Amino acid sequence: MTDIATTDTHGAEAVLPTPSQTVGPFYGYALPIPDGGNIAPVGHPDTVTVHGHVYDGEGNPLPDALVELWGAAPDGSVPTATGSMRRDPASGGFVGRNGLEFTGWGRIQTDADGHWVARTLRPGARGGGAPYLAVCVFARGLLMHLFTRIYLPGDDAALAADPVLSQVEEGRRSTLVAEEQAPATYRFDIRLQGENETVFLEYQ
C-alpha cells in the first residue's frame, strides 16, 4: 500500500521517495514526440546540431534508448515557455512545437542504429561554469535513469575552470565534451558501460 506520511502544504515532514523502475521496452508509442529533437526555433542563427549513439558494455548501439535534453538559452537564461509537445484537441494528436518559441527541452528516441539527433540553441553560461546541455538517459535494462552533461568544445579556459569538469579525473573529462565535426555540429556518444564509459552525475 502507499503508506507515506503526507502532510498538507505547510508541513515539513519528510516523506520517503517513490522508487525508480525501468522505462521498459514499450514506451515507444507513448513517450516520443514528433520533432522531439527539433528544439531550436526555425532558422535561429544560434542553432547547433548535437547527435550521437548510445552504446552498451559490448559496444553495441541501443535501438531503444530515450535521451532527454534540457538547456539554457544562448543568453544563459532558463527557458520558461511551454509548448514542447503541443497537443491538438481536434485530432487528439501532437501538433509539435510552433517553431517560434524556445522551450529548452527535447526528447529523442534512438533509431534502429542507436543514433539520436537534436537541434537546439547553443546554451549560454550560467554562474561560474562552462555552458552545457543537461542530459537524462532512459532505456530498457536501466533500472534508474542516468544524468550526464554535454559540454561544447571551443572555450578551453571555461572548460578548465568548470566546477563539475574539474571534479572529474582528467582521463575521463573528454567523455563529457562533445566533438566538433563541422561548424555548429557536434557529436556526443553515450557509453553506458565499458571502455570510455561516460561520466554520469548524481545531484545531492
Partner 1 sequence: MALTQHDIDKEIAAERDAYEQRVAGGAPVEHHPDRGYAPYRSSVLRHPKRPPVGIDVTKDPELVELSSPAWGERDITELDNDLTRQHRGEPVGERITVEGRLLDREGRPVRGQLVEIWQANSAGRYAHQREQHDAPLDPNFTGAGRTLTDDHGFYRFTTIQPGPYPWRNHTNAWRPAHIHFSVFGRSFTQRLVTQMYFPNDPLFPYDPILHAVTDQAARDRLVAAYDHNLSVPEFSLGYRWDIVLDGPSATWMEEGR
Site for partner 1 in 72-91 (CB under 8 A): 72, 78-89
3 state SS for 85-106? CCECCCCCCECCCCCCCCCCEE
Choosing among partner 1, Fe ion, none, which partner's interface includes residue 174 (Cβ < 5 to 8 Å by kind)?
none
Residue 29 found at the interface with partner 1 (CB under 8 A): yes
Please tell me whether residue 24 binds Fe ion under the rule CB under 5 A.
yes
Q: Which of partner 1, Fe ion, none sits in contact with 31, Cβ below 5 to 8 A by type?
A: partner 1
The residue assigned the cell 579525473 is 169
Which residue pairs from 125-129 have beta carbons closer than 8 angstroms and sit at least 24 positions apart in sequence?
125/72, 125/76, 125/158, 126/72, 126/76, 126/78, 128/161, 128/163, 129/158, 129/161, 129/162, 129/163, 129/164
Closest by alpha carbon to 174, among 148, 135, 142?
148
Which of Fe ion, partner 1, none does residue 117 bind to, with CB < 5 to 8 Å depending on kind? none
Q: Which residue is nearest to Fe ion (CB)?
A: 24
Establish if 151 lies at the interface with partner 1 (CB under 8 A).
no
Q: Choose which of 37, 40, 50, 70 interacts with partner 1 (CB under 8 A).
A: 70
11 or 181, CB closer to partner 1? 11
**Which residues of the shown chain bind Fe ion in the complex (CB under 5 A)?**
24
